[in-house]
A and B are shown apart, each in its own frame.
Chain A
Amino acid sequence: MNPGSDTTPVREDIIDPRDQLHRFHGGLVLPGHREAVASRPVQAAGIPPRLVLPLKQHIGEAAECLVRPGDRVSKGQMIAAPRGAISMPVHASSSGTVIAVEARPVPHPSGLMAPCIVIETDGRDEWGQASAPLADYREVPVGRLLERIRESGIVGLGGAGFPTQVKLAHRSPDGIDLLVINGVECEPYICCDDRLMRERTGEVLEGVRILQHILKPRHCIIAIEDHMPEAEAAMRAAVGAAAAGNLRVVRVPEIYPTGGERQLIKVLTGREVPSQGFPADIGIICQNVGTAAAVYQAVVHNRPLVSRLVTVTGAGVREPRNLELLLGTSFRHAVETCGGYSSEVDRLLMGGPMMGFAVTTDEVPVIKTTNCILAVTREEMPPSGDLLPCIRCGKCTAVCPADLLPQQLYWHARSGNLDAAQDYNLFDCIECGCCATVCPSHIPLVQYYRHAKAEIWTQEKQKKAADIARRRHEARIARLERVRQERSGRLAERKKSLSGPADQATDAKQAVIQAALERVRKKKEEAGQAPKNMDNLTPEQERLIREIDARRSQKDPPTEH
């Protein structure tokens, strides 16, 4: 490594002209499980009868629904609008009729339901009238391009799903030194980016050019892991053919998790993103190859994000392959398109085996961040062995790509010592799962970190809510005090001029309340609590009623067992 390149802001040094690569700490070499799937072309999965589109598909605020059941929608129509800065619109991914806006199961580790728009498709897949495509994006102000990217609902398609235009607008004061196009796809099984680069090379490249135009980086690298030589060759040919300039393709070694933003930056430049900072802080921005292709569709063809490539795989699927799926398609439809489940299927995951999570039903829809639907058998992903106490072997520390001390994090997260966990940089953990994979005691380390992070966020939220409550309470006390003073001032004035009965007003108010009470009582009676069939009762029945009434008046809630 070039000593001093970490501190001296010599821009030209950010990447080595001979593509000298660096290493990040730790990481694992994992079996790929991709070959068969990666060799098959992408297949379109068609239009399912129903599409379920969650209002929230990534971090940030949920979008605000713009449609009602019964509304007709065309493909690409915005059906939910962003609410707040880190919020993105949702578009109808095919034409049809909205049949419900309600809570449905969504792909989320909690297994909870969340608000979704349900569309019954009409099979015509008709696009609405789009505004005219931009003639030439180079002529358009950058702000307008960012706006277009936002309107198109584009989020990072590599997994995290951060709104793309927010990332693009986050500049360091010195501008951007390096734009990294992440085609690394390091997690086992997943190979949709591989297919994307092979089959839609031109789209990816055009998207990269648009991103370059927006960011004006000094360098741009398309990083590809060395398990996908075809994709690399395709990209190289395209880049070479198009007179590359400062754009290059770089092959990086296959080590999990090289696809992590920080890890990839370290590999390409030797630089570290500051703890809890952003790559933009050191003049670097990363975008996934899928995101680049989506940007191309949005800017050049004015097509919002309505579909994505998804790897449907695992030994639990009969004919695993990459599919192009409309957002909102159920996991079940995707698996059925791939020949259905094999008999030994055990669990269904969204995402890869390392960072994905299990879903409880295959009704959940494909969302913007679904890069992989993984149906595993018990054999290929056995439940972790018996939980044993930590033996302080240090293996977790050796493999942690974020250079953390997983064992310390574990102790503190387990004992609820959240401050200490933060001191050990809990929030730099990328939840890659390397530590848990090598732990000989089978400790589900990552889940401890996820719990601790969520706990800290919750506490912060509560603290903010408490601060607001305190302010509102103080404001109220001040207001009451002001009113009291004003009133006593007025009263004193009035006393001087005339004296009269002061409590007439309150009497009047009481009377109003009394009358209202009476009305409500009547209403309740009318609403069905009034006794019926009370004519022609026998003396015996009348006696019973009297007894019941007596009991009722003694005991209010009439629940006797």
Chain B
Amino acid sequence: MLTALLTLGILAALIGLILGYAAIRFRVESDPIVDQIDALLPQTQCGQCTFPGCRPYAEAIAAGEADINQCPPGGESTIQALADLLGRDPKPLNPEHGAHAEKSVAIIHEELCIGCTLCIQACPVDAILGAPKQMHTVIAAECTGCKLCVAPCPVECIDMVPVLQTTGNWIWPLPVVDSLVPGAGKLAGGAHG
């Protein structure tokens, strides 16, 4: 009995020591709060929050210089996530920064494009391909829908179009009452568990 207690006691002390040492020896720099906030932002890089991109906004939030409801592309879900992270109350999106809209992508009407490269300079994620005096085009998969390229275009040949619903991005809707969903319907004849 005594030996058992003793062994266990020594073991506990030993493990405690090892753990304590490991905690000091292998300490990782704790994830700075800015990274955590930035991870929740949609990375549209549109500047509607009044900051030049998502990370500067994250820094401002962390420093207490900006509120959590300034990002229209993120909308309610981002505000909720930020509120959860920072332990604050969620609040509605500040309309001064714009309204939440479904994501769209930029399309360049290539027959009108004069190849001035102004849109390339505006794109925060380098999603526009082209060279001086060459027709430009948008890499749709990389476009964040920030709209920043629309205004600079001198010939107004860039349009924002909503992302189409396809069988690939379609989501099963939540059921509506009285839905005729297979699997939810009963087989005539009844089932015996």
Contacts and interface: CB of A to CB of B under 8 A. Distances in A.
Interface of A: 26, 28-31, 56, 62, 106, 108-110, 112, 114, 188, 347, 349, 351, 353-358, 379-387, 395, 398-399, 414, 431-433, 436-438, 442-448, 450-451, 453-455, 458, 461-462, 465-470, 472-473, 475-476, 512-513, 516-517, 519-520
B174 A448 contact: yes
A516 B118 CA distance: 14
B175 A444 contact: yes
Most B Cβ at <10 Å: residue of A444, A453, A475:
A444
Contact of A381 (B116, B177, B187): B187
Interface string B164-193: 011111111111011111111111111111
B102 to A, nearest CB: 12
B186 A437 contact: yes
B43 interface: yes
Nearest to A435: B183
Contact of B43 (A431, A461, A469): A469
B137 to A, nearest CB: 16
A472 B171 CA distance: 28
Nearest to B124: A473
Contact of B155 (A447, A462, A520): A520
Given A347-B180, A357-B182, A414 B43 contact: no
Contact of A112 (B170, B189, B191): B170
B172 A358 contact: no
B155 A433 contact: no
B110 interface: no
Contact of B181 (A30, A108, A114, A447): A447
A455 B77 CA distance: 13
A101 to B, nearest CB: 16
B182 A355 contact: yes
B126 interface: yes
B127 interface: yes
B114 interface: yes
B178 A387 contact: yes
Contacts of B126: 472, 475-476
Nearest to B188: A380
A395 B184 contact: no
Given A448-B175, A450-B172, 7 more contacts: A108-B170, A114-B166, A353-B183, A381-B187, A437-B183, A447-B173, A475-B126
Contacts of A516: 114, 116, 154-155
A463 to B, nearest CB: 9
B125 A353 contact: no
A437 B167 contact: no
B106 interface: no
Nearest to A188: B187
Contact of B185 (A381, A461, A467): A381
B154 A358 contact: no
B128 to A, nearest CB: 11
A472 B179 contact: no
A399 B116 CA distance: 65
Contact of B191 (A28, A455, A458, A470): A28
Given A395-B193, A469-B125, A513-B116, A446 B184 contact: yes
B154 A444 contact: no
A271 to B, nearest CB: 24
Contacts of A520: 112, 114, 155
B98 to A, nearest CB: 18
Contact of B142 (A188, A472, A517): A472
Contact of A473 (B53, B165, B168, B172): B53
Contacts of B166: 112, 114
A353 B182 CA distance: 6
A28 B126 CA distance: 55
B172 A447 contact: yes
B183 A438 contact: no
Contacts of A431: 183
B49 to A, nearest CB: 14
B45 A473 contact: yes
A62 B181 CA distance: 27
B70 interface: no
Most chain B beta carbons < 10 A, residue from A106, A442, A453, A455: A442
B43 A466 contact: yes
A29 B192 contact: yes
Contacts of A108: 167, 170
Given A383-B180, A473-B53, A455 B171 contact: yes
16 contacts: A29-B192, A56-B168, A114-B166, A347-B180, A353-B182, A353-B185, A358-B180, A380-B188, A399-B193, A446-B183, A451-B175, A454-B172, A458-B171, A469-B125, A470-B38, A472-B126
B124 to A, nearest CB: 5
B175 A112 contact: no
A446 B167 contact: no
Residue picked from B165, B170, B174, B185, most chain A C-beta under 10 Å: B185
A489 B189 CA distance: 84
B93 interface: no
B184 A444 contact: yes
Contact of B167 (A28, A106, A445, A461): A106
B177 to A, nearest CB: 5
A458 B191 CA distance: 35
Nearest to A383: B180
Nearest to B190: A31
Contacts of B125: 469, 472-473, 476
B184 A469 contact: no
B48 interface: no
B144 interface: yes
B177 A387 contact: yes
A375 B33 CA distance: 57
Closest 3 pairs between A and B when the two form their complex, measured CB to CB = A433-B183, A444-B184, A469-B43
A191 to B, nearest CB: 16
A31 B187 contact: yes
A462 B81 CA distance: 15
B193 A438 contact: yes
B181 A446 contact: yes
A30 B180 contact: no
Contacts of A106: 167
A26 B182 CA distance: 20
Contact of B44 (A450, A451, A469): A469
A31 B171 contact: no
B90 interface: no
Contacts of B191: 28-31, 437-438
